[in-house]
Structure 1
Amino acid sequence: MGIVTAVSRNGTYAFTKPNRDAITLLDGLGVEGDVHAGVTVKHRFHMRKDPTRPNLRQVHLIHEELFEEVREAGFSVTAGQLGENVTTRGLDLLGLPTGALLRLGGEAVVEVTGLRNPCAQIDGLQKGLLKRMVERDGDGAPRPLTGVMSVVRAGGVVRPGDPIVIELPDRPHHPLRIV
């Protein structure tokens, strides 16, 4: 079991998202009051490609442990600065299979849809940080470290300190890919 350490949302397009005392997840839409909430894609890049595509990026979750890893390399990153809505601790988000359900607090449930791709805006936060957001696997293929994307399956309020419980989908499990 993991824990929510911070929640963030922003009603306007900006790379970072201010931390909040709580956020409300809306079934099938995303974070109430967040610019990325909606049934269809809201990410500017994806909207230019096809604005009718389903929004698989309603809620962005990132593991707080990543901030500690990059801090060792001389960077300073805090919750919300990479645009995530939910910052977690104690979960291997990147190791989850597609379709895993995360119960956040008492009511909210999100379904993991895939990995978040790191974008060039990360270097706008701190020069050189983007390079730290990708690692290479044993075959040399890139593996993004910037968290996972999800859709809301059950709405509810999420606050720092809320527990996170994982429900894995039936096998066979499918590894996460960039959405």
Structure 2
Amino acid sequence: MESIKTLLLTGYRSYELGIFQEKDAKIAIIKKAIKNNLIQYVDSGLEWVLIGGNLGVEMWGAEVINELKIDYPQLHLGVIFPFAEFGEQWNESHQEKLVHLKQEADYVEAVSHKPYQNPQQLQNHTNFLLQHSDGILAVFDPEFPGKPKYLLDAAEKMTENNEYLIHLITMDDLQNTFYE
């Protein structure tokens, strides 16, 4: 496996997967798939995982990273929000997750230091994440479109002129993880 120092982790939002309860069995499978892949990257030199702080795969991935830090203290979590006050409109339980995420992360910052104003902030966020990572690990299946498609399209464009890894965990991969 190629040596990647900084990996961007993304994927579906919880609602895109029909997950509305913390106890949903699908979460354990997704976390196991993320963990299995991250361990391979850590064993090859991975030091940082960046996320944008979205509910769903990114939050579950952050939980996995924080568990992995016990055995892999060289692993760090960076949370890079697109704008200031990210998540403030979320309900109370989601805001609690966000507070916990910020406490557990090794680095927390926002690309824009202003509250949401326009879509350009989201574009700037995407560009920043791609420029500051060596590859992307995404729980995403091209047959099931969703929000991660925008980030993955930008990553795909980046591969035209740069060495940039795109690693997808597809629905088939999740199915296989379930049977492991």
The normalised TM-score by structure 1 is 0.28
Work out which structure has the larger RCO, using CA pairs closer than 8 Å and 6 or more positions apart in sequence. 1
Larger strand percent: 1
Larger helix percent: 2
The normalised TM-score by structure 2 is 0.28
